[in-house]
Structure 1
Amino acid sequence: MEGVDLTSDLPPAVVARLREALLSHKVLVFRNQPMDDERHVELTNAFGGATAAHPIVNGLPENPAVLRTALSEERKALIEAEAGLSHPLKERTLRRLRTEWHVDSTFVVNPNAITILRGVEIPLTGGDTLFANLEALYEGLSPSLRGYLDTLQAIHSRHAPSAPPRFDGKPAGPFAAVHPLVRVHPETGARSLLVSAVFLQAIRGLKPRESAALLDFLLDELAGRDEIHARVRWEQDMLVMWDNRAVAHAGPVDGLLFEEERIVHRTTVVGDVPCGPNGFKSRALMGGRFEALA
Structure 2
Amino acid sequence: MTNATVKETTAILDLKKLALQEKSYLSYPPTVYSELEPFEHNDPGHRADPTKASIYNNAEKIFDLTPNIGTEIHGLQLSQLTNQQKDDLALLVAERGVVFFRDQDLNYQQGKELGRYYGPLHIHLTEGHVPNEPEVFPIFYDKSDEANKISSYFRTASDGWHSDVSYELQPPGFTFLKLDTLPTIGGDTLWSSSYAAYDRLSPALQKFLEGLEVVHSAKDQGLGAKARGITLRRQNVEHTHPLIRTHPVTGWKGLFVQPIFVHHIVGLSKRESDTILNFLYEHIYGGHDFQVRFKWTEDTIAVWDNRVTTHCAIFDYLNIDRRHGWRITAQAERPYYDPKSKSRSEELRKKQSSGQ
TM-score normalised by the shorter chain: which range applies? Answer: 0.7 to 0.9
In the alignment, which residue of structure 2 is the partner of 1:28?
99
In the alignment, which residue of structure 1 is the partner of 2:133?
63
Contact map agreement 2:183 2:317 (CA 8 A) in 1? no
1:76 aligns with 2:136: no
Structure 1 range deviating more: 109-118 or 13-22: 13-22
Match of 1:130, SS? Answer: strand
In the alignment, which residue of structure 2 is the partner of 1:179?
241
In the alignment, which residue of structure 1 is the partner of 2:280?
218
Query: Which one of 37, 48, 56 corresponds to residue 119 of structure 2?
Result: 48
Query: Which one of 312, 319, 322 corresponds to residue 261 of structure 1?
Result: 322
Match of 1:7, SS? Answer: helix
Query: Which one of 85, 94, 117 corresponds to residue 14 of structure 1?
Result: 85
1:114 aligns with 2:177: no
Query: Normalising by the residue count of structure 1, what TM-score does the alignment of the two structures yield?
Result: 0.83
Match of 2:78, SS? Answer: coil
Contact map agreement 2:159 2:260 (CA 8 A) in 1? yes
Query: Which one of 163, 175, 178 corresponds to residue 103 of structure 1?
Result: 163
Match of 2:113, SS? Answer: helix
- How far is 1:263 from its partner? 0.7
- How far is 1:252 from its partner? 2.6
- Distance in 2 (CA, whole Å) between partners of 1:17 and 1:141 is 30
CA displacement 1:184-242 (0-9 Å, x = unmatched): 11111111111111011111111111111101100000000100100111111100000
Change (3 A) 1:138 1:253: farther
Change (3 A) 1:50 1:82: closer
1:203 aligns with 2:265: yes
Percent identity for Structure 1 against Structure 2: 28
- Distance in 2 (CA, whole Å) between partners of 1:240 and 1:82 is 23
CA displacement 1:128-172 (0-9 Å, x = unmatched): 110000110001111111011002111111121426447xxxx43
- Distance in 1 (CA, whole Å) between partners of 2:154 and 2:101 is 32
Query: Normalising by the residue count of structure 2, what TM-score does the alignment of the two structures yield?
Result: 0.69
- How far is 1:44 from its partner? 1.1
Match of 1:35, SS? Answer: coil
Unaligned runs of 5+ in 1: 84-94, 280-294
Contact map agreement 1:112 1:269 (CA 8 A) in 2? yes
Write the letter of the residue equivalent to 1:272. E
- Distance in 1 (CA, whole Å) between partners of 2:231 and 2:147 is 24
1:146 aligns with 2:233: no
- How far is 1:33 from its partner? 0.3
Change (3 A) 1:140 1:82: closer
- Distance in 2 (CA, whole Å) between partners of 1:125 and 1:204 is 42
Which structure is higher in helix share? Answer: 2
In the alignment, which residue of structure 2 is the partner of 1:87?
none
Aligned residues: 260
Unaligned runs of 5+ in 2: 1-72, 341-356
1:127 aligns with 2:187: yes
Which structure is richer in relative contact order (CA contacts within 8 A, separation 6 or more)? 1
In the alignment, which residue of structure 2 is the partner of 1:236?
298
- Distance in 1 (CA, whole Å) between partners of 2:317 and 2:168 is 27
Change (3 A) 1:214 1:164: same
- Distance in 1 (CA, whole Å) between partners of 2:169 and 2:132 is 27
Contact map agreement 1:100 1:250 (CA 8 A) in 2? yes
Match of 2:172, SS? Answer: coil
Match of 1:109, SS? Answer: coil
